[in-house]
């Protein structure tokens, strides 16, 4: 297992990440009936993961849904997970959902029959039952605000957190930015002149709300402060002893 894949393994599962992405995505790209169209701010998500898409009355997609046999045209929906902090390679993940549209009241209801999540290290097919049962990460709605605040108002804290990163991962680094945060940990993007990599700092316990996240961050910063006064060789000995 590679370093990036190991980092993701310590975080949310594929179904939870897919539901989190779906919950906060602002735009939806729809490919159906030979056409492709982007809808911005037009979708909502049901508790079971079905997508409710609001389209104009003169939309070709709505016409296709009404006129198609059984009222269920096939379609593919695509969502992008964009990092709120400007970094190189800003797309953190993509979600594709294949399935069927059904007209209902004033919107179209999309029932997925296949869900694929592409993360930095590769794509995974998400089990439909797990997708339907999963809940978005409790911090997903606040993530953008939290990360931009950390990057803009507390760059010193980000620098301190790099004390928790192995020196090899910081080799030739030109900038470090907060890339993602969820209930399980914080991910830093380490940029170099022609490349970049991600390092995940796991919390000692999951955070179910912003108050708990604040406490988890304080613990990380305290560890970073302790690491700052500890020689690297001793840090490595301590880390080896914790394993």
Asked whether 199 and 7 are in contact (CB, 8 A), the reply is yes
- Our measurement of the distance from residue 26's CA atom to the centroid of its chain's CA atoms, rounded to an integer in Å, reads 13
What's the whole-number average pLDDT of the chain?
88
User: Is the predicted pLDDT of residue 234 greater than 50, yes or no?
Assistant: no
DSSP 165: S
User: Is the predicted pLDDT of residue 72 greater than 80, yes or no?
Assistant: no
pLDDT per residue as tens digits for the range 100-111: 998 888 789 999
Q: Which domains does the chain have, with CATH numbers?
A: 3-133 (2.30.110.10), 140-242 (3.20.180.10)
Split at pLDDT 50, 70, 90, the class of 242 is very low
More confident call, 158 vs 67: 158
Taking the CA atoms of 214, 178, 127 and 32 in sequence, report the sign of the dihedral they define: positive
Phi, psi of 176 (to 5 degrees): -125, 130
Region 130-151 average pLDDT: 98
pLDDT per residue as tens digits for the range 186-228: 999 999 998 999 999 999 999 999 999 999 999 999 999 998 7
pLDDT per residue as tens digits for the range 49-66: 999 999 988 888 888 877
CA distances from 72 to 62, 107, 109, 132 (A): 11, 13, 10, 20
Ranked by mean pLDDT, the top range of 34-38, 95-99, 236-240 is 95-99
Bridge partners for 177 per DSSP: 189
Asked whether 187 and 7 are in contact (CB, 8 A), the reply is yes
Alpha carbons 235 and 163: distance in angstroms, whole number: 10
Nearest to 53 by CA among 108, 113, 96: 108
């Amino acid at each position: 297992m590679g370093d990036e894949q190991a980092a993701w393994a310590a975080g949310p599962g594929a179904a939870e990440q897919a539901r989190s992405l779906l919950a906060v995505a602002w735009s939806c790209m729809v490919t159906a009936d030979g056409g492709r169209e982007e809808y911005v701010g037009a979708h909502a998500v049901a508790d079971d993961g079905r997508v409710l898409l609001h389209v104009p009355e003169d939309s070709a997609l709505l016409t296709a849904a009404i006129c198609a046999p059984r009222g269920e045209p096939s379609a593919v929906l695509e969502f992008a997970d964009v990092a709120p902090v400007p970094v190189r390679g800003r797309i953190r993940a993509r979600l594709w959902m294949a399935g069927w549209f059904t007209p209902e009241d004033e919107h179209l209801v999309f029932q997925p029959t296949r869900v694929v999540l592409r993360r930095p290290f590769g794509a995974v097919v998400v089990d439909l039952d797990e997708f339907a049962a999963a809940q978005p990460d409790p911090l997903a709605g606040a993530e953008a605000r939290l990360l931009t605040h950390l990057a803009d108002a507390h760059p010193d804290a980000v620098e301190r957190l790099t004390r928790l990163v192995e020196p090899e991962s910081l080799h030739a680094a030109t900038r470090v930015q907060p890339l993602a945060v969820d209930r399980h940990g914080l991910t830093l993007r380490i940029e170099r002149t022609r490349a970049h990599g991600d390092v995940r700092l796991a919390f000692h316990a999951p955070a179910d709300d912003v108050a708990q996240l604040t406490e988890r961050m304080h613990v990380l910063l305290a560890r970073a402060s302790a690491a700052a006064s500890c020689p690297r060789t001793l840090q490595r000995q301590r880390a080896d002893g914790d394993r």
